């Protein structure tokens, strides 16, 4: 699928055509008139008569056709359909000639706006666990590179709980144990923690709130060390405290 055409570009092309065809129209009209006016030579000396005026007729006939085509292109530019799409990041309005079927780049924020089957996907904010920068992801995002520190932010698929893409350096699992992740303190930024938990666990707001009411609470269990580390880092960046516990071991008192 191709990226959608911006309406302004399509209109510009129409106008470029309209202008160049009308310039041709003017040229052929002028040339036709010139030949008509000066095309007849009579040289008395040799009694020769040279008549070029007949060459002017095709030119004069072509001129209105060229103009007509120019006008047609100019009018066609007005009839281009218009479809307005909002950038999911900055709400900038983009006008296309058809409903975008594929991702497009926003003119305003230069981010790639995700589109699936003609539907513009919502984006959600994700805080980078490394630098704390705010980033955005959609259902379509497989790999998320932090806009501020250029590091890859690990993404969990809310449906499977698996990593969507394993960043380099995250792949090595040097620990065969399975872990559970226990939230012990939600910190002061309760809202932020609720948001990250909603993303992390694919729960709704009320479910997350209910969990926070009975801390410590086991968020996930049976995950590997990398995942547990990554999630607890994410929670810590939202101000919460989470503990990784090896399953089967009781935490030291």
Closest CB 249 distance from Zn ion, rounded Å: 33
Among candidate residues 126, 157, 152, 95, the one with its CA nearest the CA of residue 235: 126
Q: Report d(CA 235, CA 245) in Å as an integer.
A: 15
Stretch that binds Zn ion, among 34-42, 74-82, 109-117, 156-164 (CB under 5 A): 109-117
Q: CA-based Rg of the chain, rounded to a whole angstrom?
A: 34
Closest CB 35 distance from Zn ion, rounded Å: 56
Closest CB 110 distance from Zn ion, rounded Å: 7
- Residues that bind Zn ion (rule: CB under 5 A) add up to a total of 14
Site string for Zn ion, 121-160 (x = CB under 5 A): -------x-xx-x------------x-xx-----------
- Of 4, 67, 85, 89, the one binding Zn ion (CB under 5 A) is 89
Among candidate residues 222, 252, 250, 217, the one with its CA nearest the CA of residue 235: 217
Binding residues among 69-88 for Zn ion as defined by CB under 5 A: 87
Helix (H) or strand (E) holding 215: none
Closest CB 241 distance from Zn ion, rounded Å: 21
28: exposed, middle or buried (Cβ count in 10 Å: 0-12, 13-18, 19+): buried
HSE (side-chain half, CA atoms, 13 Å) at 9: 10
Binding site for Zn ion (CB under 5 A): 87, 89-90, 92, 106, 108-109, 128, 130-131, 133, 146, 148-149
């Amino acid at each position: 699928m191709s990226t959608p055409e911006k309406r302004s570009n399509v209109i510009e092309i129409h106008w470029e055509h309209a202008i160049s065809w009308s310039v041709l129209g003017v040229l052929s009209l002028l040339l036709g008139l010139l030949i008509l006016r000066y095309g007849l030579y009579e040289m008395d000396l040799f009694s020769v008569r040279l008549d070029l005026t007949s060459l002017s007729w095709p030119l004069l006939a072509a001129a209105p056709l060229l103009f007509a085509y120019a006008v047609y292109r100019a009018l066609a530019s007005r009839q281009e359909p218009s479809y307005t799409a909002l950038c999911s990041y900055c709400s900038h309005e983009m006008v296309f000639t058809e409903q975008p079927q594929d991702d497009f780049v926003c003119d305003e924020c230069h981010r790639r706006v995700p589109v699936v089957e003609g539907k513009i996907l919502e984006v959600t904010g994700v805080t980078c666990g490394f630098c704390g920068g705010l980033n955005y992801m959609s259902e379509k995002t497989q790999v998320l590179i932090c806009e501020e520190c250029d590091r890859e932010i690990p993404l969990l698929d809310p449906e499977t709980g698996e990593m969507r893409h394993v960043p380099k350096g995250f792949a090595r699992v040097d620990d065969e144990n399975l872990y559970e992740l226990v939230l012990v303190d939600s910190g002061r930024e309760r809202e932020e923690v609720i948001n990250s938990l909603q993303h992390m666990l694919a729960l709704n707001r009320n479910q997350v709130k209910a969990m926070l009411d009975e801390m410590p609470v086991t968020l996930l269990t049976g995950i590997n060390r990398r995942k547990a580390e990554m999630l607890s880092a994410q929670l810590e960046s939202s101000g919460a405290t989470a503990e990784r516990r090896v399953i089967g071991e009781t935490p030291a008192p």
